[in-house]
Every structure is written in C-alpha cells, then in structure tokens.
Amino acid sequence: MSTLVIVESPTKARTIRNYLPKGYHVTASMGHIRDLPSSAEEIPKEQKGQPWSQLGVNVENNFAPLYIVPKKKKKVVTELKQALKEADELILATDEDREGESISWHLLEVLKPKVPIKRMVFHEITQEAIQKALTNCREIDENLVHAQETRRILDRLVGYTLSPLLWRKIAKGLSAGRVQSVSVRLLVQRERERQAFQSANYWDLKAELLQKKSKFEAKLITLGGKKLASGSDFDAATGKLSKGKKVVVLSQAEAIALKERLQDQPWTVSKTEEKPSTRRPSPPFTTSTLQQEANRKLGISARDTMRTAQKLYEEGYITYMRTDSVHLSEQAIAAARSCVEEKYGKEYLSPKVRQYKTKSKGAQEAHEAIRPAGNSFRTPQETGLSGRELALYDLIWKRTVACQMADARLTQLSVILKVDDAEFRSAGKRIDFPGFFRAYVEGSDDPDAALENQEVVLPDLKEGDQPTCKKLEEVDHNTQPPARYTEASLVKALESKGIGRPSTYATIIGTIVDRGYVQIRDKALTPTFTAFAVTALLEEHFPNLVDTDFTSQMEQTLDEIATGKAQWLPYLKNFYLGDDGLGTQVKVREENIDPATAKAIAIENLPVKVKIGRFGPYIEAANGEETITASLPADLTPADLDPEQVETILKQKTEGPEQLGTHPETGDPIYLLVGSYGPYVQLGEVTEEKKKPKRASLPKTVKPEELTLQMAVDLLALPRLLGEHPETNKPVKVGLGRFGPYVVHDQGKEGKDYRSLKKEDNLFTIDFERAMELLAQPKRSRGRGKTKTPLKELGKHPADNEPVNVYEGPYGIYVNHLKVNAGLPEGETVETITLEKALELIAEKAGSKATKKRSTTKKKTTAKKTTSRKTKTSS
C-alpha cells in the first residue's frame, strides 16, 4: 500500500520522511496552491467584466471567493496530481493552525482525490510525535477553514476597497489593511504625543559617600520635610507640576546653593530597611513573547524571528512556533526538570511542577508553548546549530528550562541619610539565592533598566553611622516624552489590545516598513509623513477601521467563527453591505474627501504646510503673493523636521544655495544644498555646459552647520586613490556611498571588493596601510556586524559544485550562485524555494545578463560603423 503525505515545505518533508514507515511518500505543496487573484491578469476571462472581479470576492453572491491557481503553482499542482495517481491513501499533514487547515482544504478542492483521506496534525516533528499523530488522524475542521477564509476575505475587502481611495486622494502605491492601519495609527499617536510633550526641568543632588573604604551613592529625596520633585510629578501636556502635587522643585541656582550649604555638614544614617522579595520565572514562549524577546536580546526583527523559528521547527529542533498557549505537556515538563537537575543541581529545581495559564485574548492556535522538541531536550551545544538558528534555539531552551526552576530570592536594601534639613536615600539589592537567574533573565523594553540579576551592593550601615561625603554634585533632569515603539513593544501592545494574531505580527511590521510608513532607527519605529497623512484620512472618514476596540471586537468574532459560535456569512454581510457597510461608506464619503486636504499634514510648531506629492513629501509656504514649494529629504520624518530646517530649505529655494567658499585649485564656488537624499556639497553651478557638476553627500556624522570649507573640498575629492594593491596592481580607494564610508579594491572586470570603515577610522585621513588591513578582514553583511550567513543553504550547483544559497539584501530575498543574484519571484518564499527552482532563476538571470551584454556590444559596434560611414561621406 502506498500513502502520499503532503506538507507545506521541502524542509518539513525531509524531516518527516525519517519518521514514517516504508511505503509513505512525502512531498511539499510549497504553501498555498490557491489564492485570490493578486493582479488583473490573473482574473479568469469569464469573470473579468464583473464589477466585483477586482476584489476577487463576489460580494453579490454570498461573498464567494474567486480562487485561482497562480502560474507559479501550476507545476506544483501537476506534480501533486501525478503523485496522487500512484497512491492508495492521502494524508494531509499541514500545520495545525487555521492557515494549515486552509492549505489542506484547498488541496482537497484542487486535487479531488478518489482515495481515502486523512488529516494528520502534530506540534513537533519527532519520532514519537509523528507516530502518535499517525494513529490519531481526523477530518478537516470546517470551522477553522471558515475562520481563515473569513479573515482572508475581510482583509481583501478592507485592503482592496480602501487602498484605491488612498491612491486617488494621497499618492499611488499606498495601502490600507485591517491590522496594518491600526498598527500605523498606534505609531502616529505615539509620535503626536511626543510632539505635544512639554519637557519640564528640575534639579536634585547626588552624593558619593564612603563608609569604611566602601563607596556608595545617595540621592536627595526630601528637603525641609517635603518630598523632592521627580519626573512623574509633572504634566506631560504643560511641562508644569501636576495639580495637587506638593513637592519641592529645585532650580539650578537653588541646587547649587543647597550643595554649598550641605557641603561641610555631618551625614548620619537615620534609618535602614531590608525587604525580602521573590521573583518567579516567566512562562515559556508564545509566538508574541518570542518575537519580543528575540528583538530585545538578539536584535532580530519579528520577520526574521519567525523565519528562523520556522526553520527550527521544520528541522525538528523546536515545537510549532505559531501558538498563543503557555501550556507545557507532562513530557516537556519532565524534560525541563531533568535539564535543571543535571545542569544546575536539585536545589535549583522548583519544589512543585510549574504549569502556566494562557492570558492572551482568544488564544486558539497550537495547544503547547514553543519549546525544544522531544521528550528530552538537546542542549544548544548538542544541536550542531550555528549563527541565528543557534542563538534563537538557545533563547528558547533557556526560557523553557528556567520556567521549571526555583524562585530567585532577593533582599531590597534602603538606607536614609540625614544632613541638616535634607534627606538622601541609597538603594541596593542583594541576591540571596539566584534560582532561575542562573539560566535566564527576561529583557526589558527600557534599554537603561538594570537587569533583575544585577546586584547593587551597599556597605554594612547601621543607624547612627556617619559616613564621609567625598563628593556632592547637582544633577540636571528633563522629563522625557513617551518612548517610540520598538518591534518588541509594538508586538506587546497589539497582543494586549487583542489586535490581529501573533502569527501575523511579523508580516504586518514588515509590510509597514516596506511600504514606507515607518523607518527603523536604533530599533525604534519612527512614522513617516505618509503614515501621518494616511492615518489622518482614516481617522476622519473611517474611524472604526483604525479604532483599537473595534478591531479587537472583530478579532473576537473571527475567533468565535473558528469555534462555531458565530456564522461567517452574516458577519461579512453586516461588515461590507448595507448603508453602514464599508463598500457603501467608501462610495458615499469619497466625494467629500478633498485631495488637497488629504495630502496636507498637520505638524505642531511649524510655520509651513507639509504635503505628500508625487515624488514624496514637500513643504509649502507663502512668499509674498506667491507660494513656494521645496522637497524634503527622503529619509526625513516628522520627528526630524524643525523650524530651523524649514528655514534652511526655504532659504535655499528663494535665495539659492549657501556658498561655503571657493575651491583652492579650480576657483569654482562650493555650495551647501539640501536635496531629496539629505545635505550635500556641489562644486560650481548648474549650466548648459555643465548640467551635472561634481557633488558629494555629507557623512551622517557631520551636521550641515559643522561643515567647513576644507571638509567640503575633501568630500569633493572622493573617491580618493590610496595606492595600488600589491597582488593585482589595481587601485585601492576610499569613498563615501549609500551605506557610509568605505574602502574599495577596484579590480576592473573582476569586480569590486568593498569594506566599510570602522568607527575609529577617519574618512579624510585613512591611509593605504589601514585600507589593506580592512580589505584583509572577512566581508561583513550590511547592518549586522557579522559575516554574512545565508538564510537557507539549497545545495551545490551541478555545473561547478559551488554553493547555491538564499540571502536577504536591501531589496529583498534573493538566491545567489557565484556572482549571479536573482530575486525571488512573487509568491516564492525562503521556506518554499528549492534548489531546482533556484537553478532556473539563476540560469534565467545569467541568460538575461549575457543577452544585455551582447545587445550593448552590438549597439556599440553599430555606432562605430555608422560613425565610420559618416566620416567617409563628409570627407
């Protein structure tokens, strides 16, 4: 008897194959084989004229979805049908969540098998789990299928109804989404809070004291019996003390005077206090908490976290990575407790088994937390993993093991010191028993926060002791606006508000970054001008769609559909049709939306209007009776724009660029300008004869006001020749590019070998020897500071046995073989790409390069012949 088993990816197929009996053939569907049409050309001819065809959902016929098999999946479907012909039984072994259930349903609809069908589910790929799943197969869960289909239709209705409206009213290429738009609004709201924030200034004193050769610090807490002001005592909207606060606010002058008054006074310990406390370990990871912690501790984006976790799951290292549950099976608890006892000893084991309860709204995905796979956990060192995979597995292993460890026992220490009419406080922390701290300490969204496992030691102090004050200084404080969201804190906010599903957060964050709604700077998500414009339009005309409570309620209804408590069709009709439905509201309100108003962005404390134009954001200001406009740099956000910058940009537009001086060798004027990509210097003016004068961007570390004439001359001299490479006799240069300063070994036809300069290197003074040192170092990937490692190793090229790998670059995911890079086509992912498909892409790319090269050569040859004929005729 032959059994065909279908899973989503080749990696998963390879792993499962090892645990199945003979006669089982495992193949991959490469994800979904059917979907709604992604473009007009995919719509079948018979439906093209229908008014609903662009939506891909027939809203006039019970919201029937128009499913098509994309061109790229037709070969896969053919292969699956062929494999099914040779099988006596079909097992659908896709993932156990709604998406996996939907993939299995689509496979049934397309393949139409005539043999017995089983649905097999498991949450880890191990021998025991697969054998157990084989004996506990079930039928496809129609409720889960309807829940996924309703989500897909709902997302399509929102996206394909609102996005065209944004194109017409603001700019082409914009998009709206059910969860995406709410996420963007959260970021914009936070930025508005920061803009409206009024900083308050206050001062206090800090003392450095000595007790029996032990130094410790203390801070001023009361003066004259009144509490000293802290940041929480001020109103964020006004910058003044909040109403009802009876505290002392010191100015700089008062702080200095107080310091001088207390300088020589005796210090006495008036009170000491010790409070015991315990810390319990965090629950094992869910999808959301894994994304948060990987971002905090490893600096990995939500998208990369899920990509890496998917690989670990499919290769059998961890359990299923899309889950809301913190529950652990009895076998997992036994494995974790065994690890604790072996690695740390019995005293570090929790006296009782710890079992955690899921708190997130509508938890519904897999039934167990993310943990190492199997009935015994491999230590990170035993896995043979490396790079990002090892780092993420290590994080999961530690968190899982720590959850079965003993509590950490701490003592909080507090010492009050009196000097004249002032009181100072010194705080400390002693760890009496580290417990789970030995394995794992949770990260924090506040980068300045001390980790819980860090002790703060105080000397042995008793009431009446008189330590010596070695140093007393005044300290300046300014209240800080609320911090911008990071990927970790945004994921946490979305989950706590019940918006979207944790399994979709990685895609959502990736989308809002890719679509230009957000820039990531030092982990912070900074909204752009486009984000402000789109959010303002949706808030005014479609407030429900960006309301967190409304979106959360939608999510709950979708969860009820998954459990059969709610019906999907009435819900869709109510959402889209009728007078209050989205379809009707867009038609009614579109006439009332003025594009000029929609493109304008309200930013506080700016004397000009900011608008979204065809080529990006620009400012508009009155200059007498005329209106002048000036483009803003592409990487500038509302957070960066201030009145001084506006004045500089407008001055350049009305009076021409600022002249720094003249070039010492050519005598040409050197100008400082601000363009679409930021500030730059220019040698000479633009004329008919010289349409493109020499230009050079300013390094990111140099502000326009800091630029000197000599620096401008040095910038215009780039790229600068440093010498010739001793092995090739080819030039070695230093220059400034898109990714910052670099050195390059220019080998002509053999290509260019680049290295970025380090922080300690100076762009203008670096010499040949230092450049050679940098070129001798291994090449590093952009932005990571590590040797570039592939996202996926596909295998060897049959022609030359060289590796074919998958990488991520500034323009997306691509496959690489030697010097040929080929981007992944739409619909293809890191998980679905195979060696065979990669070889096709590489061959196609190499062929197009060769054709282009021949075409260029032919044009040059033809041009030469034409020139020759013309010369002959004229002579």
Query: What residue has token string 């199945």?
Result: 20
The alpha carbon of 381 is separated from its chain's Cα centroid by a whole number of angstroms, namely: 28
- Paired tokens of 619: 């400012």
For every residue of 397-459, DSSP letters joined together read HHHHHHTTBPPEEEEEEEEEEEETTEEEEEEEEEEEE-GGGGT-----S-TTSPPTT--B---
For every residue of 23-49, DSSP letters joined together read TEEEEE--S-S-BS-SSGGGS-GGGTT
The answer to whether residues 418 and 268 touch, using CB atoms and an 8 Å cutoff, is: yes
The answer to whether residues 401 and 377 touch, using CB atoms and an 8 Å cutoff, is: yes
Instruction: Label residue 259 exposed, middle or buried (CB < 10 Å: 0-12, 13-18, 19+).
Output: middle
Per annotation, catalytic residue among 19, 320, 344, 576: 320
Please state the three-class secondary structure of 306-326 as a single string: HHHHHHHHHCCCECCCCCCCC
d(CA 699, CA 866): 45
Other C-beta atoms closer than 10 Å to the C-beta of 555 total 20
344 is catalytic: no
d(CA 658, CA 674): 10
- One-letter amino acid for residue 373 of the chain: A
The answer to whether residues 390 and 311 touch, using CB atoms and an 8 Å cutoff, is: no
d(CA 648, CA 253): 36
Rounded (10°) CA dihedral 841, 844, 847, 849: -60
Local structure of residue 522 (DSSP, 8 states): T
Question: Parallel, antiparallel, or unpaired: how do β-strands 752-756 and 740-746 relate?
Answer: antiparallel
Q: What angle do CA 351, 357, 363 make, to 5 degrees?
A: 155
- One-letter amino acid for residue 67 of the chain: Y
What size, in residues, is the chain?
875
- Paired tokens of 86: 């040779």
d(CA 106, CA 753): 48
Q: What angle do CA 744, 750, 754 make, to 5 degrees?
A: 20
d(CA 516, CA 187): 13
| Phi, psi torsion values for 308, nearest 5 degrees | -70, -40
724-730: which pairs have CB atoms within 8 A and are 24 or more residues apart? 725/772, 725/775
- Paired tokens of 598: 């929609």
- Paired tokens of 61: 């016929």
The answer to whether residues 340 and 401 touch, using CB atoms and an 8 Å cutoff, is: yes
- One-letter amino acid for residue 524 of the chain: A
Closest CA to 481 of 535, 532, 524, 528: 524
Where in the sequence numbering do the catalytic residues fall? Answer: 320
